[in-house]
Structure 1
Amino acid sequence: MKTPKRLEPLVQEGLIDEVKRQLMSGKEATVYVVRCGAEIRCAKVYKEANQRSFHQAVAYQEGRRVKNSRQARAMEKGSRYGRKMAEEVWQNAEVDALHRLAAAGVRVPTPYQCFEGVLVMELVTDADGNAAPRLSSVPLTPELALAYHAALLHQVVLMLCAGVIHGDLSEYNILVDAQGPVIIDLPQAIDAASSSVASSMLERDVTNLATFFGTIVPALLESQYGKEIWGLYEAGLLTPESPLTGKVAAPTGAVDVDAVIREIALAREEAEEIERHKADMAS
């Protein structure tokens, strides 16, 4: 196919030898299958800030660090330089998260390089060598649904032990290869220690999993794995081997009204993201 304009600099630099086809287009990026020497990889081309939805969500930006105070001030003012820095922070967040999570044993694609707003990384494939399908399109039996749910909960725990929360985990950004689920799409990853909405984001990610798999295994709809996992993390007791039951004791203290308001706002944002994703898939 004709080389897209955003990929031309990578071809000129010898980072990509051939663009074979477009793989998918979503709310934050367009992904292409590319050839790098003898290897088939994928190139994720981030959309411009005004075409994305996540860039306006303050919750996803909280706790992210920049190189110096000048850059931080420029980002706060929204100057041209500040917008450029904000884009670099956004794009580097996924690269940093992928390296961090891979080191922690999380099943994520291997990143190779990020250049001119394009992330070149491993192409996740199925048993036949084709691009791996999204979890949303994989036929599931109750037994397989339970196995994948358990595997993904373990991935969530590994991520949190590494200090990272996905922030947008759902059946649409999980691929399934020959060994099982692989987590993708991490530019909105949240630092668990520095975000005031970390617990809500973690619980939302886990609830999304329960809601999806609960259509096949209804008992999962009553589980409380998110609260259980966060409770263990907050108490300093969470490890990759922590046994999980999906149950927590009923709270006895006063209701945190601010937390409830934040949860409502996150739920509204999640509903809007789902509708945007459906529109993207339809187009």
Structure 2
Amino acid sequence: MTHHPEASASTDDLDGALDARFTFDYQQIGDLEPGQRWSTWGSCQPLSRGPEPWPDWIITDDAAVDTELGVLKTGKEADVFLLERSAPLDDRSVVLAAKRYRDNTHRTFHRNTAYTEGRKLPKKGGREARALAKSTSFGKTVAAGMWAWAEWEALVRFHRAGLPVPYPAQVDGTEILMELITDSDGAPAPRLAATRPDRNLLESLWVQLCDTITGLAGLGCVHGDLSAYNLLVAGERLVLIDLPQTVDLFGNPHGMDMLQRDCMNVAKWFVARGLDVDGEDLFGEVVARSV
């Protein structure tokens, strides 16, 4: 039997010869605390993640932890929470806005029919369609998920078009995680209704708003529930939020009426602050540019 000296090499010698590609380090992560969960990023399908290229602040680590920080605001169909997503292996973290839709039992926004005309609905005769028709517990969850998905699609589409909306990070069932819009001090940006802008900023915000409404119409869309309460002021920048009821300007028979109402609603707020603008004029200009 032939003796091979290398076969009797010590374990230490073998360890020193291992290729670095076949070694790894690991770090133990502690148990989750109350109000925490593992990141849901990894469980989301590709179409449920934000448009690429992803911003630098997006955390995709499987070991990331989501921590509840409290309620940011309540709304007619959903509540928005602050959620910190952190990567414990490299100390990165980001605070996101987590919008969670309620089922129909707990919603105060019930004008569904006018907003859903022209939208795709679950296949007739299918389980989801039957549950919706009977308003079962499952049906209510389906309805909430449909509103969440409608807002998700609007956010993705408008972000890609360059319109001023929060970056949509991911959607998972009835929860949308999106960019937290902040003011110049890093605090959550206030709604337009809560601000008292000076004359110069007021004029700038109006111009931005007109451009945004025109941009939506150029995509064939109407916000449908636009007011000073679903516009954020991030420093000197206006940001559009609350988009589940966005309608097709031409496919929905109420589209033009909703556009006119949006224009009148927001113009009224600016007029009350001393700006000489007219909602009917804005409506006419937007229609002229979109047809």
TM-score range, shorter chain: 0.7 to 0.9
Is the contact made by 1:104 and 1:159 (CA closer than 8 Å) also made in structure 2?
A: no
TM-score scaled by structure 2? 0.71
CA shift, 1:40, in A, is 1.1
Unaligned runs of 5+ in 2: 1-32, 44-62, 87-92
Partner of 1:32: 81
CA shift, 1:53, in A, is 3.0
Cα distance in 2, alignment partners of residues 11 and 103 from structure 1: 21
Unaligned runs of 5+ in 1: 237-283
CA shift, 1:108, in A, is 0.4
Please give the per-residue CA displacement for 1:125-159, whole angstroms capped at 9, x wherever unaligned. Answer: 11111111111111122332121111111001111
Q: 1:94 aligns with which of 148, 151, 155?
A: 151
**Structural mapping, 1:4-19, within 5 Å:** 17-19=66-68
Q: 1:23 aligns with which of 72, 84, 105?
A: 72
Cα distance in 2, alignment partners of residues 48 and 204 from structure 1: 27
Please give the per-residue CA displacement for 1:162-205, whole angstroms capped at 9, x wherever unaligned. Answer: 12211111111111113411000011111122100101111111
Instruction: Specify the SS of the correspondent of 1:19.
Output: strand
Partner of 1:62: 117
**Count of equivalent residues:** 232
Partner of 2:231: 174
Change (3 A) 1:98 1:69: same
Cα distance in 2, alignment partners of residues 12 and 231 from structure 1: 45
Partner of 1:185: 242
Partner of 1:74: 130
Amino acid at match of 1:111: P
Q: Say if 2:161 is the partner of 1:104.
A: yes
Cα distance in 2, alignment partners of residues 30 and 8 from structure 1: 21
Q: Comparing both structures, which one devotes a greater share of its residues to helix?
A: 1
Percent identity, please: 31
Instruction: Specify the SS of the correspondent of 1:227.
Output: helix
Please give the per-residue CA displacement for 1:226-265, whole angstroms capped at 9, x wherever unaligned. Answer: 13312442xx3xxxxxxxxxxxxxxxxxxxxxxxxxxxxx
Higher alpha-carbon Rg = 2
Partner of 1:224: 281
Q: 1:3 aligns with which of 35, 48, 64?
A: 35
Q: Which runs of 4+ in 1 moved over 6 A?
A: 11-15
Cα distance in 1, alignment partners of residues 76 and 135 from structure 2: 24
Amino acid at match of 1:41: L
Q: Which moved more, 1:9-18 or 1:99-108?
A: 9-18
Instruction: Name the structure, 1 or 2, with higher relative contact order (CA <8 Å, separation 6+).
Output: 1
What is the alpha-carbon root mean square deviation over aligned residues? 2.7
